[in-house]
Amino acid sequence: MAASVCELLWLERTWSNLPEELCKVGPLEKVSSGLVVVLCFVPGFSWLWKLGLAIAVCKGFEAMRARPPFTAKVPKALGIASVVVSWVPGLNVYLAPFLWELFAIRMDVVCNEIRAAR
């Protein structure tokens, strides 16, 4: 339960680091960080929503690479894997929180490099 709360806090914080024009999930444009968190509570839809968020966060930071250049690798495959593993009963409790933590740590490295470049 605590891992789920931390995941949502991390998603909100990371999403708010993206410029407004890159805050796009699928067909939705200019998605606010509040909407990111709220839609994570919709049963059933939240599984696909989190997959879309993981992909959108990675695409957004890849698009930011040209503005202040950074060298850290954006872990898109790890983000997708953390979401997909969270769909599997049993693994969603024992493995998914650790994958989300690894994804968050690597994305925080990207965010820190962007801040340092500014």
Q: What is the pLDDT of residues 37-66, one digit of tens each?
A: 888 888 888 889 989 999 999 998 888 887
Cα(18)–Cα(110) distance, integer angstroms: 12
At 78 the pLDDT is: 93
- Whether 67 has a pLDDT exceeding 80, the answer reads no
The pLDDT tens digits of the residues spanning 83-107 come to: 999 999 998 888 988 998 999 999 9
8/24 Cα distance (integer angstroms): 17
Q: How far out from the chain centre does Cα 11 lie?
A: 5
Q: Is 41 helix (H, G, I), strand (E, B) or coil?
A: helix
